[in-house]
């Protein structure tokens, strides 16, 4: 005779209210879910995980201050519950997640993809309980996620040399970057710095959760965007905090929508 399946407690972690609400609604339709907890940021997530010890965490990768990887680091790999990563960008080790059977939801995702991820999570929970080893699954991948990229792969600072002076320019302070021939101009708080690298090359070295290419000649810091003004044929004018006005071309619109997990 089959034993009844244990009910599952789930924590949803996402700083965007609509995204969090949608996950909660999808979980509400699942008869195997007993409890759904919510956290609007990484700090709250760590506290709930340590106090409530949920069976499963749906964890947004990118959040301000303490992001998804920061949650893992704070809780610790050994104590981290089974986790489904939720992200709008698939750069950070998602292939490795697949290979090691750690699931993720790539925004925007449909209900069918959500159900697939939950089915895999439930199976892992059952196997972990049967083996009395809840941390046996995917530990190597959690360690990989906690380490993020290798040091130097994603640039936190750019070394800018000009007039015999070497400056460390924080990537987080860059408002936008424009192509300037074979080099680029960094726009930082109203100042400009020439950096000797192509736009395509620098785009690959910056945090894809912070920077997004909006045109063949420009990359912007998403946090520097004040608002968008619609133009024609699906294009927009982008107003930045430094007063710059840039074009969001139709060709790169999908990049921005994927980064936001929402349509413009």
pLDDT, tens only, 145-158: 555 545 567 788 89
Mean pLDDT in residue range 121-147: 62
Reported as a single tens digit per residue, the pLDDT across 30-72 is 999 999 999 999 999 999 999 999 999 999 888 888 888 888 8
Asked whether the beta carbons of 244 and 227 are under 8 A apart, the reply is no
Question: Measured between alpha carbons, how far is residue 55 from residues 14, 72, 79, 161, 198 in Å?
Answer: 17, 15, 11, 51, 46
Question: What are the structural domains, with CATH classification, of the chain?
Answer: 8-147 (3.40.50.2300), 157-260 (2.40.50.1020)
Q: What single DSSP character describes residue 226?
A: E
Cβ atoms < 10 Å from Cβ of 112: 8
Of the candidates 102, 205, 114, 107, the one whose C-alpha atom is nearest the C-alpha of residue 145 is 102
Reported as a single tens digit per residue, the pLDDT across 174-228 is 999 999 989 999 999 999 999 999 998 998 888 877 899 999 999 999 999 999 9
Strand partners, 141: none
pLDDT score of 99: 41
Decide if pLDDT at 13 tops 90: yes
Per the listing, tokens 């009844």 go with 4
Reported as a single tens digit per residue, the pLDDT across 79-109 is 888 888 888 766 554 544 544 435 778 788 8
pLDDT score of 151: 56
Rounded (10°) angle between helices 68-75 and 42-52: 40
Share of the chain above pLDDT 70, in %: 83
pTM for this prediction: 0.56
Share of the chain above pLDDT 90, in %: 45
Question: Tokens standing for 37?
Answer: 């907890």
Q: What is the largest CA-CA distance in the chain?
A: 79
């Amino acid at each position: 005779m089959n034993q009844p399946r244990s009910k599952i407690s789930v924590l949803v972690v996402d700083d965007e209210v609509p995204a969090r609400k949608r996950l909660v609604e999808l979980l509400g339709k699942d008869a195997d879910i007993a409890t759904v907890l919510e956290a609007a940021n990484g700090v709250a997530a760590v506290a709930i995980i340590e106090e409530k010890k949920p069976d499963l965490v749906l964890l947004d990768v990118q959040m301000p201050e303490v992001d998804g990887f920061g949650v893992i680091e704070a809780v610790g790999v050994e104590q981290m519950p089974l986790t489904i990563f939720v992200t709008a960008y698939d750069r950070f080790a998602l292939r490795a997640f697949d290979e090691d059977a750690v699931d993720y939801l790539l925004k925007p995702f449909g209900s069918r993809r959500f159900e697939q991820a939950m089915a895999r999570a439930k199976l892992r929970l059952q196997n972990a309980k049967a083996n009395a080893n809840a941390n046996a699954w995917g530990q190597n991948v959690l360690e990989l996620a906690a380490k993020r990229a290798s040091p130097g792969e994603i640039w936190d600072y750019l070394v800018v040399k000009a007039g015999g002076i070497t400056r460390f320019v924080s990537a987080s302070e860059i408002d936008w970057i424009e192509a300037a021939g074979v080099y680029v101009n960094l726009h930082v708080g109203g100042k400009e710095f020439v950096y000797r690298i192509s736009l395509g090359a620098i785009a690959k070295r910056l945090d894809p959760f912070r920077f997004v290419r909006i045109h063949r000649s420009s990359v912007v810091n998403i946090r520097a965007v004040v608002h968008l003004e619609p133009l024609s044929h699906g294009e927009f004018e982008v107003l930045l905090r430094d007063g710059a006005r840039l074009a969001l071309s139709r060709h790169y619109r999908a990049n921005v929508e994927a980064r936001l997990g929402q349509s413009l």
